[in-house]
Amino acid sequence: MTTRVLINEINKYLDRKEALIITGMRQVGKTTLMRQVYDNFIDKPKLWFDFENPLDVKIFEDIDYNNIFKKLIVLAEIKKNERLTVFIDEIQIFPEITKIIKYLIDHYQVKFIVTGSSNYYLKNFFPESLSGRKFIFQLNPLSFKEYLYFQNKLSFEESGQIDITKAVALSDIFFHKKYETDYEMYLHFGGFPAVALEESHEIKKQILKNIFASFFEKDLKILSDYKDIQELRDLLLLLVPRIGSMLDISKISSELSVNRPKIYNYLEFLQGVFIIKLLPRYTKGIDRSIAGGKKVYFSDTGLLNIIGNINEAQLIENAVINQLFQYGQVSFYNKRNTAEIDAILEKKLAFEIKLKGTEKDLIKMKKLSSELGLANGYIISKNYVEQKGFISPVVL
């Protein structure tokens, strides 16, 4: 079974007392990843629960948390002084579980490794009972290097390379040509594991449609009003052609006939279930900006292509922004609509994203990044440019 790079990070925290929460989009591989961690617990007391099964939830429905622990140790056939590790899939289905986890960590040193499908649920519906007692790991769609690993074209070690300097150093015509066709597939079908492993283009599209449908069937349960679901659907469709553009909340509010506070709530929800990313403006001080004025991108280009149609320039920009996020925090710079930098990584490196970069693009970007005091800058060009300062997106 193919392993995700994130497992290396999770393994570092297995001996700590805190609960480990794996979160991310639906169908991105959270359950599979947690199962792989579970399988590595050889000869150690462990239990697995799936909260989509009401019988599994029932075990935790007891007002006396000590009784819950007694049930668990019987199920695990635990021996004296052994530490129990409990794995739970889809914890957001039973919000009370966070109080139980806290109690069992504090009183019985039980280790919890769990999945949750949405940051929105975790933030808005879970009590802060796990404050200081959890580490959260976000599992994203496959990076391009992970995609190549899933295609058996890179080793697991190579797929986990997340040093931007080393990645940039790989950019040469041979590396670009070797993976150019794969990158085209990655652009159009995205990084969901089931999609990446499927060979048929038609089945790839059907899987993506099913993923989008499951979002409406499961994540939107939180929106009880059917009108809200319609509005959110219409907002999604409205966001597609705005890829790479700054959001004008007043204009969106007017087009949808939905008030501004509701638009902000919908955007928070779409971020919380990992459908979209809102890119903030670059600032040297504290970023006090809210959703208005941010740029919008979708978290997976395959899903984006299923929802609506965008041009090639928008598609490559969306893909590269997602790729850069694996290296750290990303923002953009806009100088009163007269000059712009597409992406600034960790407030240090500038990146301009082009279908085919030119010398003029490089000079302009270097000048602007120098004014901002940034360490360096590059033009990311989909069409390879063999010149210093230009890199291929396939290396990211």
**Cα(26)–Cα(109) distance, rounded to whole angstroms?**
30
Report whether 47 contacts 84 (CB < 8 A).
yes
Q: What is the mean pLDDT of residues 132-158?
A: 95
Tell me what the pLDDT averaged over the chain comes to.
92
How do strand 19-24 and strand 134-139 relate by DSSP bridges? parallel
- The alpha carbon dihedral of 27, 344, 338, 362 has a sign of negative
pLDDT of 289 > 50? The answer is no
pLDDT of 287 > 50? The answer is no
Amino acid 174: pLDDT: 97
Per-residue pLDDT reduced to its tens digit, 330-357:
999 998 778 899 999 999 999 999 999 9
pLDDT of 47 > 70? The answer is yes
**Cα(161)–Cα(327) distance, rounded to whole angstroms?**
10
Q: What is the mean pLDDT of residues 109-134?
A: 79
Report whether 158 contacts 147 (CB < 8 A).
no
Range of lowest pLDDT (38-42, 83-87, 217-221): 217-221
Per-residue pLDDT reduced to its tens digit, 211-243:
999 888 887 766 656 678 899 999 999 999 999
- Mean pLDDT is highest, among 115-124, 265-274, 320-329, for 320-329
Cα 201 to Cα 177, 179, 206, 302, 305, distances in angstroms = 22, 19, 9, 11, 13
- Mean pLDDT is highest, among 206-220, 288-302, 355-369, for 355-369
Q: Which residue has the tokens 């939180």?
A: 222
- How far does CA 381 lie from the centroid of its chain? 24
- The alpha carbon dihedral of 220, 223, 225, 228 has a sign of negative
- Exposed/middle/buried for residue 19 (C-beta within 10 Å: 0-12, 13-18, 19+): buried
pLDDT of 285 > 70? The answer is no
Q: Provide the whole-model pTM.
A: 0.93
Amino acid 95: pLDDT: 85
DSSP category for residue 282: P
pLDDT of 384 > 80? The answer is yes
Report whether 218 contacts 26 (CB < 8 A).
yes
The string of DSSP codes covering 248-276 is: -HHHHHHHHT--HHHHHHHHHHHHHTTSE
Instruction: Domain 6-139: state its class.
Output: alpha beta
Amino acid 226: pLDDT: 66
Q: What is the mean pLDDT of residues 98-102?
A: 93
Q: What is the mean pLDDT of residues 89-99?
A: 90
pLDDT of 118 > 80? The answer is no
Q: What is the mean pLDDT of residues 159-186?
A: 94
pLDDT of 129 > 90? The answer is no
- How far does CA 263 lie from the centroid of its chain? 22
Alpha helical stretches, state H, the chain:
6-11, 30-39, 54-58, 65-76, 97-108, 119-124, 144-150, 156-159, 164-169, 173-189, 193-197, 201-218, 226-239, 249-256, 260-272, 301-307, 312-324, 359-371
pLDDT tier at 92 (50, 70, 90 boundaries)?
confident
- Mean pLDDT is highest, among 126-140, 149-163, 378-392, for 378-392
Which tokens hold the place of 366? 């270097």
Amino acid 72: pLDDT: 97
pLDDT of 284 > 50? The answer is yes
For residue 206, give the amino acid letter. Answer: Q
Judged by DSSP in three states, 323 sits in helix
Q: What is the mean pLDDT of residues 252-275?
A: 94
pLDDT of 178 > 70? The answer is yes
Domain residue extents for the chain: 6-139, 144-395
**Cα(366)–Cα(383) distance, rounded to whole angstroms?**
20
